[in-house]
Amino acid sequence: MKYTVKLIFAVLVCLTIVSFGMAAENLDNRTRDIGLYGGILLPGTISIEDADVDTEMGFTLKAYFDQFVSPMFSVGVYGQYTATSSDTDPSYDVDVYEFGLTFKPKFMISPTAAIKPGLEIGYRSTTVDISQPGIDTSADGLALNFSAELQFALDGGYLLGLTFGFLAQPTGGTDDFDVTWAPIWYAMAGIVF
């Protein structure tokens, strides 16, 4: 898991460096948003066949690129990594990787603040750190997420972002078991270029 976190951190640093060279724009007439976020994943429940497994509080990292197709609507791509653990005895580490498409309208609250509710549809891969032979510990599924992103204009054309939302998986699993998620809530903060 340490290698994965270092790799994600390196990618986020590279995206940040590249983003600094892009032209800054006002909040109401942007042509694109590049966001880098980090935050917490609240406890939730993952359903494996007929059993429910509770998860503990974890952390999540997210990067996205939104292209505005009209002044107040964007379509984009995102990638997200989440780490948590099961609330069982013994506890197991759970790593979640996902990527997909975003659809976000933008509503101006004031000249320096906006809200972007978003729908994310993507592919999710979940792995559980269980070292028992013969047990398939990776599950694939449909990521169906919702977010509400508050953006506040900063000097230099950058934005401070606060995002609240949930991760859900209505369908998915392994070759042997269905794995679904009811909404699991998260809160993140970050910078938008």
The CATH code for residues 2-192 is: 2.40.160.20
Could you tell me which residues come within 8 angstroms of residue 188 by beta carbon, excluding any fewer than 6 positions away?
37, 38, 39, 40, 60, 62, 161, 162, 163, 164
| pTM of this structure | 0.83
Write the pLDDT tens digit of every residue in 122-176. 999 999 887 666 666 789 999 999 999 999 999 888 999 999 999 999 999 988 8
Q: List Cβ<8 Å contacts ≥24 apart for 172-176.
A: 172/124, 172/139, 172/140, 172/141, 172/142, 173/48, 173/139, 173/140, 173/141, 174/136, 174/138, 174/139, 174/140, 175/136, 176/136
Is pLDDT at 89 greater than 90 in this prediction?
A: no
**The two structure tokens encoding residue 150:** 């508050």
**CA 40 to each of CA 62, 82, 164, 171, 181: distance values in angstroms, whole numbers, following the listed order:** 11, 9, 10, 24, 17
Percent of the chain surpassing pLDDT 70: 84
Q: Does an H or E element contain 13, and which?
A: helix 2-20
Domains of the chain, residue spans = 2-192
